[in-house]
């Protein structure tokens, strides 16, 4: 039985500067790919996997996101309002911890999504989670099975799926913007701007950062010219 958490944090508070002019009047999570917003691609995956509650943080043009998610049925949405101050990836999570609770939870970037392989990727992630060994379990994409990624790889993985930083290696994997975290990693943290990379590095140092390579296809949309390739990847996936 999958141990996939029933709560998730969707990181949707970014400014989307690289997506201008598309984000001049629309927050990046509401940019549509193949007729569906980036945010809905992620929320639909969470709902299909059995996630019951998703905390969505908002900052830039946050009113639009609040109105958009109010129309959804599942998962149940709670807004974490960051319109007073942008808190970065980790600061936003720390602010939402009272809602997310004391058990492991999912995080999901609102500007990435994926086409499942033979088995739903979130189901596989839940099966791979091991509370005793792991503080963080991230979903990984191989560069050959990714659309829209223009940077270097993020992590190297050993034979036990334990991760280290790739540091420019061509043998690495891309962080797919999805992870299971245990809230114990945030003990003593303050809801002020700081990056989740701090906690990745701490988990690496403790030997408690693990990864699971996807079997499906990962899609990221960082600039306007990434929209067409993303939609083409969706069409290819639908045609399987």
Instruction: Count CB atoms within 10 A of the CB of residue 78.
Output: 16
Query: Which residues are within 8 A (CB) of 238 and not within 5 positions of it... i.e. 6 or more apart?
Result: none
Do residues 146 and 174 touch, judged by C-beta distance below 8 A?
yes
196-221 mean pLDDT: 96
Per-residue pLDDT tens digits for 18-34: 889 988 899 999 999 99
Interior angle at CA 186, CA 180 and CA 190, nearest 5 = 135
What per-residue confidence (pLDDT) applies to 238? Answer: 55
Per-residue pLDDT tens digits for 163-179: 999 987 888 999 999 99
What per-residue confidence (pLDDT) applies to 2? Answer: 55
pLDDT band at 140 (very low <50, low <70, confident <90, very high): very high
Alpha carbons 161 and 234: distance in angstroms, whole number: 28
What is the set of domains in the chain, with CATH numbers? 7-238 (3.90.550.10)
Q: What share of the chain is helix, strand, coil (3-state, %, to 5)?
A: 30, 25, 40
Q: Tell me the average pLDDT of the chain.
A: 91
Whether residue 72 has pLDDT greater than 90: no
pTM: 0.92
What per-residue confidence (pLDDT) applies to 138? Answer: 98
Comparing 14 with 197, the larger pLDDT belongs to: 197
Alpha carbons 4 and 138: distance in angstroms, whole number: 13
Q: Which of 159, 138, 104 is nearest to 213 (CA)?
A: 138
In sign, the C-alpha dihedral spanning 61, 62, 63, 65 is positive
pLDDT band at 63 (very low <50, low <70, confident <90, very high): confident
What per-residue confidence (pLDDT) applies to 240? Answer: 47
Peptide bond into 16 cis (omega under 30): no
Give the tokens for residue 1: 């039985």
């Amino acid at each position: 039985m999958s141990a996939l958490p029933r709560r998730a944090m969707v990181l949707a508070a970014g400014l989307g500067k690289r997506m201008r002019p598309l984000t001049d009047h629309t927050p990046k999570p509401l940019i549509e790919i193949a007729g569906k917003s980036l945010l809905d691609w992620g929320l639909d995956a969470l709902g299909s996997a059995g996630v019951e509650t998703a905390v969505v943080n908002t900052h830039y043009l946050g009113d639009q996101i609040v109105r958009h998610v109010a129309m959804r049925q599942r998962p149940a949405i709670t807004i974490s309002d960051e319109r007073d101050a942008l808190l970065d990836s980790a600061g936003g999570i720390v602010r939402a911890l009272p809602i997310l609770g004391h058990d492991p939870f999912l995080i999901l970037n609102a500007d990435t999504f994926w086409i499942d392989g033979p088995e739903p990727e979130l189901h596989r992630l839940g099966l791979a989670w091991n509370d005793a060994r792991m503080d963080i379990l991230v979903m990984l994409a191989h560069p050959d099975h990714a659309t829209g990624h223009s940077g270097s790889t993020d992590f190297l993985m050993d034979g036990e799926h334990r991760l280290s930083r790739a540091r420019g290696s061509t043998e690495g994997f891309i962080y797919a913007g999805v992870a299971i975290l245990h809230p114990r990693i945030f003990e003593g943290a303050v809801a002020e701007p700081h990056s989740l990379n701090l906690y990745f590095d701490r988990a690496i140092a403790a030997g408690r950062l693990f990864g699971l390579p996807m079997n499906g296809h990962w899609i990221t949309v960082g600039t306007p010219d990434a929209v067409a390739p993303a939609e083409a990847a969706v069409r290819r996936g639908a045609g399987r």
